[in-house]
Amino acid sequence: MKKFLLVGLLFLFQLSSFTNGVFAEVTPEELKSYTTETGLTESDLEDYLAVYDLSLKDFESVNELVSYLGEPVNDDTIQTLLTKHNISEDELQHILGGFGESVQDYLFIKDLEITVDFYINHAEVLVEAERMLSEIGLTEDEIGGLLLHFISLNNINLEQKMSSISTNLEQYFSYNNSESLSSEQQKELLVMYDKMIEIFELQPRYFLLKDGSKEAVAYTELLEKESLDGADLLIEIYRGNDQYLLDLRVSEEMLASDFIIERGEKLLTVATLAQEMSVKVQGNRLPTTASPYSNLLLLGALLIIIGIGTVFMNRKYA
């Protein structure tokens, strides 16, 4: 899950800064020479470039292609990386293996270098993020489904719609939990939750689980409850077309504690780190108009947690 959480988020940043209408292309002869020299195949290159919404046809020459791709992963470039970080090859494999990866997953050394540097510096936060998501029942496949759903929205105004909400959320997840939220603040959280559900085109359904039974319950009814009488809360999330995406299960104990607030803080931290990693990888290839989709994705997970937390907001902070 750690791999998907950040590498999957990073995928959303792969936007092209190349313009259309380039008439010259890398010639077959140049391409054959390059693939022979590097050991990469044309299919390898096309698959890699596709992540950036590019293809070989977008490059005028093999020199332009090489400049964009950088040095491939090979014995020499790996040795340079090991020397830079003062680690052995076994240690490198161990670092990557902890995030479900291996050296073989990378074609170009710049990507491997940035990833290794990021993992070394932020390992504790990433492990905590995985644990946190697991605690509320999110699997790697479900995170993947949510990711693909956000991609499918293709809404150029998504960032603008989320901007004010993101700013407002930060004040709640840096809030002193020992203090009480006012009734106005409670209402604002609920309004933000409703807006995010609408923006992300999601349909949550709520159920109470107890003694093997599953009982549907309306969200408005949950907001009025002071107790779940020992039941767990199950939230199933669907797309606007009723396609299932994921489900979360939390206990009444989680809802009655600071679990929600603390996890919200963690998610915002991971969102910031994911954006940091994306900018490092993209460098000057990241267009100034590119939206910080990592924040949007993490806020998507965050909105689900908010939806759970607001169920007991009135009881906890009254």
Has residue 35 got a pLDDT over 60? yes
Give the max Cα distance, the chain. 73
Do 270 and 129 meet the contact criterion of CB atoms below 8 Å apart?
yes
**Confidence check: pLDDT of 11 > 90:** no
Q: What is the CA radius of gyration of the chain?
A: 23
pLDDT score, position 114: 83
Quote the pLDDT of residue 94: 84
CA atoms within 13 A on the CB side of 106: 26
Percent of the chain at pLDDT exceeding 70: 61
Reported residue count of the chain is 318
pLDDT, tens digit (0-9, with 9 covering 90-100), for 59-107: 988 899 989 889 999 999 999 999 999 999 998 988 887 666 788 888 9
d(CA 119, CA 125): 9
Cα distance between residue 168 and residue 188, in whole Å: 9
Task: Choose the most confident range, by mean pLDDT, from 207-211, 263-267, 292-296.
Answer: 207-211
Contacts of 105 (CB under 8 A, 6+ apart): 96
99-103, 130-134, 153-157, 263-267: which has the highest mean pLDDT?
A: 99-103
pLDDT digits (tens, 9 = 90+) for 110-124: 888 888 887 787 767
Residue 292: the pLDDT is 44
d(CA 126, CA 6): 9
Cα–Cα distance for residue pair 137/247, rounded to 1 Å: 7
Name 312's Cβ contacts closer than 8 Å, sequence gap at least 6.
255, 256
Token pair 């759970």 is found at 308
Structure-model confidence comparison of residues 41 and 161, the more confident one:
41
pLDDT of 141 reads 77
What confidence score (pLDDT) does residue 287 get? 36
pLDDT for the residue numbered 290? 37
pLDDT of 74 reads: 92
Give the single-character DSSP code of 233.
E
Tell me the average pLDDT across 16-26: 48
From 15-19, 33-37, 39-43, 67-71, the region with the lowest mean pLDDT: 15-19
More confident residue, 302 or 79: 79
d(CA 162, CA 143): 20
Q: What is the pLDDT of residue 236?
A: 92
Q: What is the mean pLDDT of the chain?
A: 74
- Give me the pLDDT at residue 192, please: 82
Pairing of strands 213-217, 232-239: unpaired
**Residue 315 predicted with pLDDT over 50:** yes
The pLDDT of 162-172, averaged and rounded, is: 68
Which range, 13-27, 204-218, 220-234, is most confident? 204-218
Virtual torsion, Cα 270, 9, 122, 273, nearest 10 deg: -50
Question: Comparing 97-111, 137-151, 283-297, which segment has the lowest mean pLDDT?
Answer: 283-297
Q: Is the pLDDT of residue 209 over 90?
A: yes
Distance (Å, whole) CA 268 – CA 45: 34
Which band of pLDDT confidence, cut at 50, 70 and 90, is reported for residue 193?
confident
Task: Report the pLDDT averaged over residues 207-223.
Answer: 91
Cβ atoms < 10 Å from Cβ of 293: 24
pLDDT of residue 23 exceeding 80, the answer is no
Q: Which residues of 134-144 are buried (b: 16+ CB within 10 A; e: fewer)?
A: eebebebebbe
